[in-house]
A and B are shown apart, each in its own frame.
Chain A
Amino acid sequence: MGRLVRISVVAVCAGVVAASLVLTVASTSAQAPAVGQFAPGFTVPRTADGKPDVNGLWQALNSANWDIQDHPATSGVNPGGIGVYGAQPAGLGIVEFNEIPYQPWALARRKENFEKRLVSDPNDRSAGDPEAKCYMPGVPRATYMPYPFQIIQGTDKIMIAYEFADLARVVYLGELGPPPIDSWMGQSVGRYLGDTLEVTATGFNDQTWFDRAGNFHSEQLKVVERYTPVSPYHLSYEATVEDPKVFTRPWTIAFPLYRRMERGARLLEFKCVEFSEEFLYGKLRRPPGR
């Protein structure tokens, strides 16, 4: 082959390789939907006091609660006991670039979390996935668990009411001092930026996980969430996670939230404490007889 032709072929091949690399990165990158993407010409409705209206009953439609990264179907938990009831479905990840930037030490801890996710030890409450014990799931996991939640936008506070474990997060609109104490769901402060409700949450304990795969954080966790209406039936949800003790840099998750549309749709009760007690305390049961 003549030199010019060879260079051209190399150039074309390099271009094709470069293009396919770009395509590969883009196809596994979770992205927030954009305003108008689902409903061209959509304008964001306003509440009576002029704020972007995010009121309503919302739910994520993904299997991020199993694993926030891309994941295949697996046998999941207790296949011999409960068969496909316990299987993990395949799912697209919700993490931008599908990469969680753990510090090197943290990967071993995540692996340990995963292997011990269904440990229940009354003498070591931090062992095992808190979800299985009906403990509060933390932020942002509560957003993508497979249950609805309701946003009630008040005038100086917003309540985010989750069906799982009948949980509430209070979002304070305006200034608030540092969190007086660590908590499972953190302390949330919100503000409006254009069409978006932005919520900053800090003051977490280190007890919650991001999913059933064992992804975790420390008490230095900070989460900044952005809720933006993008159609009459969808919110765009993005959350940036920062934790200098566990990760090398901040990272972002993104997915759409879908409005629950059925007639009479509402939060129902999921007081899961009574479903967790056999799991938590079964080994401690004493023989009856007084």
Chain B
Amino acid sequence: MCGRSHVVLGALIAVCFGSTLLSGQNAATALRTPWGEPDLQGLWDIKTITPLERPLALGTKEFYTEQEAAERERLAVDRATDEARGADARADVAGAYNDFWWDRGTKDVQTRRTSLIISPPNGRIPWRPEAMARNAERARVRDAMLDSSNPISTWLDVDTGERCITDGIPWTPGAYNNNYLIVQSKGSIAILHEMYRELRVFSVGDRHRVNIPQWFGNSSARWDGDTLVVETDNFADKSALWWPAAWRQARPAYKIVERFTRANADTLVYEFTVTDPTLFASPWTAQIPMRRTDEQLFEYACHEANYAMPSMLGHKTAK
């Protein structure tokens, strides 16, 4: 029942998030901008320990019990310490960061789902078999390259995230900088993702179509009741590059629909549906509640400080 979230969202909010999150009336209707639109503004935190895909071992188990969720969260708190070490010395040195730097959060989503993916029912990305085979081959090629004596010979051997460009859209919880600032004016919505300082600006209700392929495609945004719906296609073909996650590399066959709904004062529900018949047997959907935070967004000057790139290309920096 909590799966079909684009049906009567108001009722689902009450059931899925619990009445403690709502005041007497439907709190969402009170959250309007001065010009009367749903107010999505704020700084929203997407981090959660709930994985995108349900672990295979859980089969069809859709939700954790309260006790299971509490135990998971306790373990997450234990792990998120800067005293944590890798399993052995080699693992410890090979890890990208000391645990101090990760900011993955310590909480499951409020619904206690076992995955962020809500459709298909097994909570996993429905890869086509030939796409899975291609992924495996690409991974094999990449491992061989990185294990070789000349792992990185140009910046194109490095993934789009390490080049400080993007990990792609739609958005999912990441290693750190899991914050999204939304600023809204009449007819326009801007979302600034702290990671990579990714900026997306939507002109709501603008039907003029452009044909300019982009890393983030071409988007059309409109209101559907209290939900902002953003449809994006016409992604540039960046599939020859290395991406941190193959499922969201920019490519022409890729289409996404994102939905943003202010469930209550402290929760923005972010839902996305991904379609690509060349990779997936069916469209699939994930839902992530974002929590309001009062922190201040930091500037993400990744490219300006990409000292790793010259190091990876095998040259020492003088300083």
Residues in A lying within 8 Å of B, measured CB to CB: 47-49, 55, 122-125, 130, 134-136, 150, 152-159, 161, 166-168, 170, 176, 180-181, 183-185, 207, 263-264, 266-269, 271, 273-274, 276-277, 280-281, 284-290
Q: Which residues from chain B contact A184 at a C-beta distance below 8 Å?
A: 299, 301, 304
Q: Which residues in B have some Cβ–Cβ distance to A below 8 Å?
A: 33-36, 39, 41, 144-145, 148-150, 152-155, 163-166, 181, 183-190, 192, 197-199, 201, 203, 206, 208-210, 212, 214-216, 296-299, 301, 303-305, 309-310, 313-315, 317-319
Q: With A134-B303, A273-B165, A284-B310 known to touch, is A152 a contact of B150 (CB < 8 Å)?
A: no
**Contact assessment for B206 and A286 in the assembled complex, using a CB-CB cutoff below 8 Å:** no
B314 touching A284 by the CB < 8 A rule?
yes
A286 x B165 contact (CB < 8 A): no
Instruction: State A269–B236 Cα separation when bound (angstroms).
Output: 11
**B192 neighbours in A (Cβ, 8 Å):** 159, 168, 170
Contacts of A136 in B (CB 8 A): 301, 304
Partner among B199, B216, B314 whose Cβ is within 8 Å of the Cβ of A168 = B199
Q: Is B208 a contact partner of A152 (Cβ separation < 8 A)? A: no
With A130-B304, A152-B183, A168-B197 given, name 17 new contacts (CB 8 A). Answer: A123-B318, A135-B304, A154-B183, A154-B185, A155-B41, A168-B192, A264-B209, A268-B212, A271-B165, A276-B303, A285-B154, A286-B152, A286-B313, A286-B314, A287-B153, A290-B145, A290-B148
Nearest residue, chain A, Cβ from B309: A281
Q: Which residues of B contact A185 (CB under 8 A)?
A: 299
Q: Which of B190, B197, B198, B319 contacts A152 (CB 8 A)?
A: B190
Give the distance in Å from the alpha carbon of A125 to the alpha carbon of B198 in the complex. 23
- Once A161-B199, A285-B153, A289-B150 are accepted as A-B contacts, the answer to whether A269 and B215 lie under 8 Å apart by CB is yes
Give min CB distance, B237 to chain A, whole Å.
13
Q: Is B304 within 8 A of A154, CB to CB?
A: no
User: In the bound complex, what is the Cα–Cα distance between A273 and B148 (angstroms)?
Assistant: 27
Task: Tell whether A161 pairs with B190 under 8 Å between CB atoms, given A274-B165, A288-B150.
Answer: yes
Nearest Cβ in chain A — how far from B148, in angstroms?
4
- Chain A residues, Cβ within 8 Å of B318: 123-124
- Pairwise interchain contact A49-B145, C-beta atoms closer than 8 A: no
Tell me the nearest residue of chain B to A266, going by C-beta. Answer: B203
B315, closest chain A residue (CB): A284
Contact B154 A152 (CB under 8 A): no
Given contacts A168-B199, A263-B208, are A153 and B185 in contact (CB under 8 A)? yes
